[in-house]
């Protein structure tokens, strides 16, 4: 049942040390990367009943045949003639530098969401800026974005803009970086929450004690997406 259950508590003094109130549910809850998982477990009924089934899986080697080969959300599938594809723009650094923390959400029509993370964000960002970005900038010089479609210009200029530095207090308190997204057809918030839990659990299992994400204050779609996740 998806009821509000407090954090797992040990039973009486005579109980076995592994015994927790709630049985297997309590054991699993103790492994989750959140202090109070009630909000994540509580999924309100959908507005429209659906029999849609989702598959949540890690990134496979076949997915990495170039960033454009990862057919993720529809908004990421744009292929531009002389500009880097949007999957490369949004996920390229994660696919190259942190593929072990990348997960894919699929429905009957194929991949429809992704979750990507970097366990040690500070080292990840340094490596991105020192090696990955220069290689991408060499591959896609700024003149490729001139005279093309607005989306193509935006994609090229994205790589040539200096990334914003993350303040050290943020990195000390939240040492891991995450990024998530789903296609517009994914209306079930529960699927997005499961995607987030999968990534957060993987990071926590390897020692992370906090995560942060970078979102533009003008990107209402992403702000709404993360707000729904809580």
In a domain, 66, yes or no: yes
Contact 120, 174 (CB under 8 A): no
Domain with 224, as residue range(s), is 55-122+172-229
In a domain, 187, yes or no: yes
Walk across the sheet containing 55-58 and list its strands: 55-58, 102-107, 110-118, 176-182, 211-212
The verdict on pTM exceeding 0.85 is no
Around Cβ 24, how many Cβ atoms within 10 Å? 8
In a domain, 189, yes or no: yes
In a domain, 31, yes or no: no
Q: Please check the confidence at residue 122 and state whether its pLDDT lies above 90.
A: yes
**Of 160 and 211, which is predicted with more confidence?**
211
Side-chain half-sphere CA neighbours of 216 within 13 A: 6
In a domain, 74, yes or no: yes
Q: pLDDT for 164-188, tens place per residue?
A: 889 999 999 999 999 998 888 888 8
Into how many domains does the chain fold? 1
**Of 3 and 228, which is predicted with more confidence?**
228
- Quote the CA–CA distance of 189 and 229 in Å, as a whole number: 8
> Residue 111 is part of a domain; what is its CATH number?
3.40.630.30
Average pLDDT over residues 77-84: 35
């Amino acid at each position: 049942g998806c009821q509000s259950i407090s954090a797992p508590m040990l039973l009486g003094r005579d109980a076995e040390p592994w015994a927790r109130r709630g049985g297997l549910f309590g054991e699993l809850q103790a492994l989750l990367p959140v202090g109070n998982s009630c909000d994540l477990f509580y999924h309100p009924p959908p507005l429209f009943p659906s029999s849609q089934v989702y598959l949540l899986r890690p990134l496979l080697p076949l997915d990495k045949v170039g960033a454009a080969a990862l057919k993720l959300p529809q908004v990421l599938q744009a292929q531009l003639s002389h500009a880097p594809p949007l999957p490369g723009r949004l996920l390229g650094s994660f696919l190259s530098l942190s593929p072990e923390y990348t997960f894919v959400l699929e429905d009957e029509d194929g991949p429809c969401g992704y979750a990507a993370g970097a366990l040690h964000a500070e080292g990840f960002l340094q490596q991105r800026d020192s090696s990955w970005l220069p290689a991408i900038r060499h591959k896609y010089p700024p003149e490729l974005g001139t005279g093309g479609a607005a989306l193509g210009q935006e994609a090229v200029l994205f790589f040539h803009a200096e990334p914003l530095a993350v303040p050290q207090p943020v990195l000390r308190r939240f040492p891991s970086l995450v990024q998530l997204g789903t296609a517009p057809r994914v209306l079930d918030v529960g699927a997005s929450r499961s995607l987030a839990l999968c990534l957060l659990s993987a990071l926590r299992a390897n020692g992370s004690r906090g995560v942060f994400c970078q979102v533009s204050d003008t990107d209402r779609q992403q702000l709404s997406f993360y707000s729904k996740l809580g």
